[in-house]
Amino acid sequence: MRGLIQDRPLLISSQIEYAGTYHGDVEIVSRTVEGPIHRTNYREINLRSKKLAQALARLGVEFGDRVGTLAWNGYRHLEIYFGVSGMGCVCHTINPRLFPEQIAYIANHAEDKVIFTDLTFVPLLEAIASELGSVQHFVIMTDEAHMPETSLPNVICYETLVEAENGEYDWPVFDEMTASSLCYTSGTTGNPKGVLYAHRSTILHSYCVCTNDGLGVCNADTILPVVPMFHANAWGIPYAAAMSGAKMVMPGSEMDGKSIYELMEAEGVTLSAGVPTVWLMLLGYVKENSLKFSTMNRTVIGGSAAPRSMIETFVNEYGVNVIHAWGMTEMSPLGTTGNLLKKHQDLPGDKQIDIRLKQGRTVFNVDLKIVDDEGNEQPRDGVAFGRLLVRGPWITSGYFKAEGGSVVDEEGWFDTGDVATLDPDGYMQITDRSKDVIKSGGEWISSIDVENEAVGCPGIVEAAVIAVPHPKWDERPLVIAVKEEGHSVTKEDVLHHLENTLAKWQLPDDVVFVDELPHTATGKLLKTALREQFKDYKLPTA
């Protein structure tokens, strides 16, 4: 027997329609590429998303077409998110930090019909425009006064395009499994692969982001997503914020500590989200200038492991709760959040940090398990580790155009490529990416563990740990670290610091200092580049 409940599809347009209708006055504040701070609200965003949908239809964009964006976090990007998905097309966010050849590959693979670009990326597009066969229009996200001289063909000014329409538009209603957005992941091998989200998965994921034990997004929040809208949909925050009518503060292209801090204070930001490298810059600026956070009460750290020292600084020095989160582009992206359970509330501070350091408990609707190389499930005892498999209604079932073939097993499990432990309370801890683990004499050393401890050493700002070949042990850990400016920390200091927490066999065999570490386009340490750079490195112990 079927339930007698209305079968209304879960559609992204309903989020912005709701925000525009019931939270119309709530502000969306953006630092613009043109310079000034811009203020709008959900009523305007809803209206202009509709105008954008009308305009795209007039340009010949049809249901299911892909529309690319090369843009920072800002109000126009938000209008594109809702306008494009709302009309039944696919909002394809392109990471502008990728190499131009990768961007061309991705736009061609997606067959983008229109590309929207911030002023910043016009030169980038000019260099590859001749290779972009499917693109019929380039829309520059600015007004007439700021339109640049450009060699791009078929160029349109965003404001002119949008303001030519009247906004009298009813969002179309269609199947909730319709594709809504597309984001390519840059795996370390092979070409980037597209993760194709659906309206249904996006709405379900948004509900999760709004739960207290998810990211707790609610109307009382003012949210500054530092995580870019081209990185797994800014972790779903734009959708969840609209669904809650939460004020949004968009940082544009200025991601340095000073710019972010000033925006947080000026706008009363309560919640933020970003990768550890961004928080390193922010905390550095706040410390150097003896500042405090006057309104921020929590921050989401994900994308890479949050080091203990970073969590301690936020929690102990600034009273900012840290939600350590783990997920993947393939997971929309939320998989686990490191919130404390009721029984942890009275634990001493450092024991609470031990828990926050783990990547967290699975959110409702994401199943996790760990398996060995033969696929046997491993115990949830916090000690045994294995390949982490996931399944759930916002996890990919296969990449766009079937790239990479089948990616889930017969029971629907997707292999994350991460190695993890699961404890009896359900907390998951990432030990490593499976290809980054250091295999030393039959034992596994977690590069993440060593990195986390190394950045806790006074004078070290960032550290990467990679495996280097060793004649006796197969592989041994090498620390590659960046010193704080003007600090005289030595290799011996780092090793001495690590002796406090690591077992003898886990201690790195050497420490080298570099001016900076390479990062991927989403801010993760680029270990493939480091492995290449140090492939002939002779350890003193070899």
Which residues are annotated as catalytic? Answer: 185, 330, 439, 444
Using CB under 6 A as the binding rule, the residues of this chain from 201 to 230 that contact ligand AMP are none
Interacting stretch for ligand AMP, rule CB under 6 A, among 50-58, 302-310, 404-412, 439-447?
302-310
Nearer to ligand AMP, 435 or 439 (CB): 435
Q: Which helix (H) or strand (E) holds 478?
A: strand 474-483
Task: Figure out which of the listed residues 198, 232, 311, 489 binds ligand AMP, where binding follows CB under 6 A.
Answer: 232
Nearer to ligand AMP, 211 or 434 (CB): 434
User: What is the Cα–Cα distance from 146 to 302, expressed in whole angstroms?
Assistant: 36
User: What is the Cα–Cα distance from 325 to 447, expressed in whole angstroms?
Assistant: 19
Distances (CA, A) of 265 to 30, 216, 225, 258: 14, 21, 14, 11
Nearer to ligand AMP, 70 or 331 (CB): 331
Nearer to ligand AMP, 232 or 278 (CB): 232
User: What is the Cα–Cα distance from 64 to 85, expressed in whole angstroms?
Assistant: 9
Distances (CA, A) of 162 to 155, 167, 228: 14, 9, 23
- Nearest distance, CB of residue 520 and ligand AMP, angstroms: 7
- Nearest distance, CB of residue 330 and ligand AMP, angstroms: 6
Residue keyed to tokens 């339109």: 147
Task: Figure out which of the listed residues 83, 333, 477, 508 binds ligand AMP, where binding follows CB under 6 A.
Answer: 333
Q: Could you give phi then psi for residue 286, rounded to 5 degrees?
A: -65, -40
Nearer to ligand AMP, 202 or 522 (CB): 522
Interacting stretch for ligand AMP, rule CB under 6 A, among 35-43, 300-308, 504-512, 527-535?
300-308
CB-CB contact of 286 with 314 (8 Å):
no
Burial class (CB in 10 A: 0-12, 13-18, 19+), 292: exposed
Instruction: Report the SS3 class of residue 539.
Output: coil
Q: Determine if 447 is a binding residue for ligand AMP (CB under 6 A).
A: no
Name the closest residue to ligand AMP (Cβ): 329
- The number of residues making up the chain comes to 542
Nearer to ligand AMP, 223 or 300 (CB): 300
Q: Determine if 296 is a binding residue for ligand AMP (CB under 6 A).
A: no
Q: Determine if 522 is a binding residue for ligand AMP (CB under 6 A).
A: yes
Interacting stretch for ligand AMP, rule CB under 6 A, among 156-164, 314-322, 324-332, 469-477?
324-332
Nearer to ligand AMP, 185 or 206 (CB): 185
Q: Determine if 307 is a binding residue for ligand AMP (CB under 6 A).
A: no
Nearer to ligand AMP, 68 or 333 (CB): 333
- Nearest distance, CB of residue 158 and ligand AMP, angstroms: 28
Distance from CA of residue 32 to its chain's centroid? 21
Task: Figure out which of the listed residues 88, 214, 303, 392 binds ligand AMP, where binding follows CB under 6 A.
Answer: 303
Q: Determine if 332 is a binding residue for ligand AMP (CB under 6 A).
A: no
Nearer to ligand AMP, 88 or 236 (CB): 236
Please calculate the CA angle 131-406-101 and round it to the nearest 5 degrees.
20
- Nearest distance, CB of residue 29 and ligand AMP, angstroms: 26
Using CB under 6 A as the binding rule, the residues of this chain from 137 to 196 that contact ligand AMP are 185
Residue spans of alpha helices (H) in 227-377 = 232-235, 237-244, 257-267, 276-288, 308-312, 318, 349-357
Q: Determine if 304 is a binding residue for ligand AMP (CB under 6 A).
A: yes
Using CB under 6 A as the binding rule, the residues of this chain from 478 to 517 that contact ligand AMP are none
Neighbouring CB atoms inside 10 A of 369's CB total 17
Task: Figure out which of the listed residues 32, 95, 202, 329 binds ligand AMP, where binding follows CB under 6 A.
Answer: 329
Using CB under 6 A as the binding rule, the residues of this chain from 390 to 429 that contact ligand AMP are 416-418
Burial class (CB in 10 A: 0-12, 13-18, 19+), 503: exposed
Residue keyed to tokens 């972790």: 235
Residue spans of alpha helices (H) in 268-324 = 276-288, 308-312, 318
Print the SS3 string covering 22-63: HCCCCEEEEECCCCCEEEEEHHHHHHHHHHHHHHHHHCCCCC
Nearer to ligand AMP, 204 or 328 (CB): 328
Which x/- pattern over 343-382 shows residues binding ligand AMP (rule: CB under 6 A)? ----------------x-----------------------
User: What is the Cα–Cα distance from 240 to 110, expressed in whole angstroms?
Assistant: 26
Please calculate the CA angle 347-351-357 and round it to the nearest 5 degrees.
130
Residue keyed to tokens 């390479």: 518
Which x/- pattern over 235-264 shows residues binding ligand AMP (rule: CB under 6 A)? ------------------------------
Q: Which residues of 53-67 are buried (b: 16+ CB within 10 A; e: fewer)?
A: bbbbeebebeeebbb
Q: Determine if 305 is a binding residue for ligand AMP (CB under 6 A).
A: yes
User: What is the Cα–Cα distance from 375 to 387, expressed in whole angstroms?
Assistant: 9
Interacting stretch for ligand AMP, rule CB under 6 A, among 142-150, 152-160, 326-334, 525-533?
326-334
Binding residues for ligand AMP, total number by CB under 6 A: 19
CA neighbor of 224 nearest in space, from 233, 216, 234: 234
User: What is the Cα–Cα distance from 483 to 463, expressed in whole angstroms?
Assistant: 9
Task: Figure out which of the listed residues 302, 386, 392, 456 binds ligand AMP, where binding follows CB under 6 A.
Answer: 302
- Nearest distance, CB of residue 458 and ligand AMP, angstroms: 23
Interacting stretch for ligand AMP, rule CB under 6 A, among 128-136, 318-326, 366-374, 377-385?
318-326
Task: Figure out which of the listed residues 255, 368, 430, 445 binds ligand AMP, where binding follows CB under 6 A.
Answer: 430
Site residues for ligand AMP per CB under 6 A: 185, 232, 302-305, 324-326, 328-329, 333, 359, 416-418, 430, 433, 522
